Amino acid sequence: MTRISYDHGVSPKKLIGETIGAFFDRTVETHREREALVVKHQNIRWSWSELGRRVDDLAAGLLALGLERGDRIGIWSPNNSEWTLTQFATAKAGLVLVNVNPAYRRAELEYAMNKVECKALILAPSLKTSNYLEIVADLVKDRKLPHLKHIVRLGAEKTPGMLNFDDVAKAGGKAEKAKLAEIGPKLQFDDAINIQFTSGTTGFPKGATLTHHNILNNGYFVGEGLKLTATDRLCIPVPLYHCFGMVMGNLGCLTHGATMVYPAEAFDPLATLQAVAEERCTALYGVPTMFIAQLDHPEFGKFDLKSLRTGIMAGSPCPIEVMKRVQSQMHMHEVTIAYGMTETSPVSTQCATDDPVERRVSTVGQVMPHLEIKIVDSEGRIVPCGETGEFCTRGYSVMKGYWNDAEKTAEAIDDGGWMHTGDLATMDAEGYVNIVGRLKDMVIRGGENVYPREIEEFLYRHPKVQDVQVIGVPDQKYGEEICAWIKLRDGQSATPEEIKEFCKGQIAHYKIPRYVEFVDAFPMTITGKIQKFVMREETIGKLGLKMQKTA
């Protein structure tokens, strides 16, 4: 009998049936004097005891503002200690933390704040070219944020109409501390605790609503997959506003008593290498583009990275050649690949630290404990092992839904409770999953289904290629044609003909790129995900391509 593409994760370890606040208090008690948080750019080094005290102070201060259980409070800031304090303080106070993308501009902020009716917003003064204070002040002046009652700014400077973060953290008295103690036992682990906006390529962002149970357990089992202990030190250069930072990073450390290390407010390859070396980090997170930037940094060879053991590469498909370099040159012999999405808290599959190297470089691992996965065709039927279909998952990790959007929720989660990811995948007979692309990224050239990932993996073998992304563009004859965007290694030059010649006889003729564009960088989100729809639009414009006309 042909095996179908279905699997479920078993584990002798049970799901955590607690709120984040209850678990946090126990970790603080257990690991009081161990280092909890190191923030390099703020010169902060706090023990679990110190972190616990500061979290309780901030939670009481938020209650002093009149915020009530279930109220939404936004945070618009890059990585810093205040972000982490806010994450745990809101969980303890029963408030719903709304993660605002640091890359958002005025219209996006206005939409997010009003969609979930935020009563309070904590914000950094600015990031790069964005003046957050100015944007919010303008929106308030124009009465565009009717639900917003409190604006809390970071830093020592004063801004009219805004509170200072440190003042709020000192505002809670005995009454608020007593109220905080009363709230804790009343909270339920199925309560919504976090809203994260997923950036769709079209339409407005959707607010994925996650519970204590969703993200505490996912952080725990991701950490288990890395064999984390209280002696581990995890370098977190990925954004906290995203699940990679706040769940896989912060909650992965919380559930194991490990140390959180932030190298900089936003990803910087040199700062990351310095943090790993100086703090003797044992684990490191990143998306492939981050690892590439570190490996190819001119000062890479100066840093002693031998303390590294493990970590996670995720966020987008991981090139095989990059994975091999991370293991050999960065000493991350137990590095794992994880796959997931915000709506699933996020991780659904992960490699094991002792999986054969070939498994770790060619798959995204097996199903996580206590979850189910399946791969289905366009009719929703489970496909046989080895066949391509849409990846679906079910279990504790699936979000409550999109905030105040029943229609979009129903499109994503079916009647059986399965989350439809929109990702194309295959599963082998042992349950290892390979992500072969996005449903919308699949290229159909002359009736042939072409998966960009396959061509990208091949082109990484070219000695001059540092990074590559493949897209489909319109073609009058074949419907779609293949276009490769290539970033060459420093000091290298190449021609489109050279790249095409490299492909001949190695991959099927219809997979050889018709167009080759050499670029310095790829358009991407702040979390490092490549925006292929932007690449497609730019290529169509540059080459003057037209969509195939239909009769």
| Mean pLDDT of all residues in 178-202 | 89
- Residue 449 pLDDT class (50, 70, 90 cuts): confident
Phi, psi of 309 (to 5 degrees): -125, -45
Please state, as a whole number, how many other Cβ atoms lie within 10 Å of the Cβ of residue 274: 17
Q: Residue 318: pLDDT above 80?
A: no
- Residue 362 pLDDT class (50, 70, 90 cuts): confident
**Strands, E assignment, 289-368:** 310-313, 334-340, 347-350, 366-367
Q: Residue 202: pLDDT above 60?
A: no
Q: What is the pTM of this model?
A: 0.87
Q: Which residues contact 44 (CB under 8 A, 6 or more apart)?
A: 37, 38, 81
pLDDT value of residue 357:
83
Residue-wise pLDDT tens digits, 143-168: 999 999 999 999 999 999 999 999 99
Residue-wise pLDDT tens digits, 5-56: 999 999 999 999 999 999 999 999 999 999 999 999 999 999 999 999 999 9
Q: Which residues pair with 475 in a beta bridge?
A: 479
Distance separating alpha carbons of residues 133 and 272, to the nearest angstrom: 28
pLDDT value of residue 345:
98
- Residue 203 pLDDT class (50, 70, 90 cuts): low
pLDDT value of residue 436:
83
Of 88, 81, 83, nearest to 56 (Cα)?
Answer: 88
Place of tokens 């018709």: 514
pLDDT value of residue 550:
31
In the chain, the domains with their CATH numbers are 1-15+215-236+260-440 (3.40.50.12780), 18-188 (3.40.50.980), 447-543 (3.30.300.30)
Distance separating alpha carbons of residues 346 and 18, to the nearest angstrom: 19
Distance separating alpha carbons of residues 137 and 149, to the nearest angstrom: 13
Distance separating alpha carbons of residues 342 and 112, to the nearest angstrom: 16
Mean pLDDT of the chain: 94
Could you tell me whether strands 334-340 and 310-313 are parallel, antiparallel, or unpaired per DSSP bridges? parallel
Residue-wise pLDDT tens digits, 114-148: 999 999 999 999 998 889 999 999 999 999 999 99
**Strands, E assignment, 212-300:** 233-235, 259-262, 283-286
Residue pair 108/101 in contact (Cβ under 8 Å)? The answer is yes
Q: Which residues pair with 39 in a beta bridge?
A: 44, 262
DSSP-assigned states of every residue in 21-32 = HHHHHHHHHHTT
Q: Residue 205: pLDDT above 60?
A: yes
Residue-wise pLDDT tens digits, 483-504: 999 999 999 999 999 999 999 9
pLDDT value of residue 201:
41
Place of tokens 């366009």: 378
Continuous H helices in 350-491: 357-362, 406-412, 452-459
Determine what percent of the chain is predicted with pLDDT higher than 70: 98
- Residue 358 pLDDT class (50, 70, 90 cuts): confident
Residue-wise pLDDT tens digits, 236-251: 999 999 999 999 999 9
Q: Residue 210: pLDDT above 90?
A: yes
pLDDT value of residue 444:
80
Q: Residue 401: pLDDT above 70?
A: yes
List of long-range contacts for 463-467, beta carbons under 8 Å, 24+ apart: 463/489, 464/488, 464/489, 464/492, 464/493, 464/494, 465/489, 466/292, 466/296, 466/490, 467/289, 467/292, 467/319, 467/522
| Mean pLDDT of all residues in 50-72 | 98
Distance separating alpha carbons of residues 502 and 178, to the nearest angstrom: 70
Q: Furthest-apart CA pair in the chain: how many Å?
A: 75
Angle between helices 320-329 and 288-295 (to 10 degrees): 50
Q: Residue 528: pLDDT above 80?
A: no
Q: Residue 448: pLDDT above 80?
A: no
Q: Residue 108: pLDDT above 90?
A: no
| Mean pLDDT of all residues in 465-493 | 93
pLDDT value of residue 199:
61
Distance separating alpha carbons of residues 28 and 25, to the nearest angstrom: 5
Could you tell me whether strands 130-131 and 35-39 are parallel, antiparallel, or unpaired per DSSP bridges? unpaired
Answer with the residue of higher pLDDT: 4 or 319: 4
Q: Residue 69: pLDDT above 80?
A: yes
Distance separating alpha carbons of residues 332 and 283, to the nearest angstrom: 8
Distance separating alpha carbons of residues 465 and 385, to the nearest angstrom: 33
DSSP state for residue 248 in the 8-state scheme: I
**Tokens matching residue 142:** 């124009």
| Mean pLDDT of all residues in 61-90 | 98
Distance separating alpha carbons of residues 271 and 291, to the nearest angstrom: 13
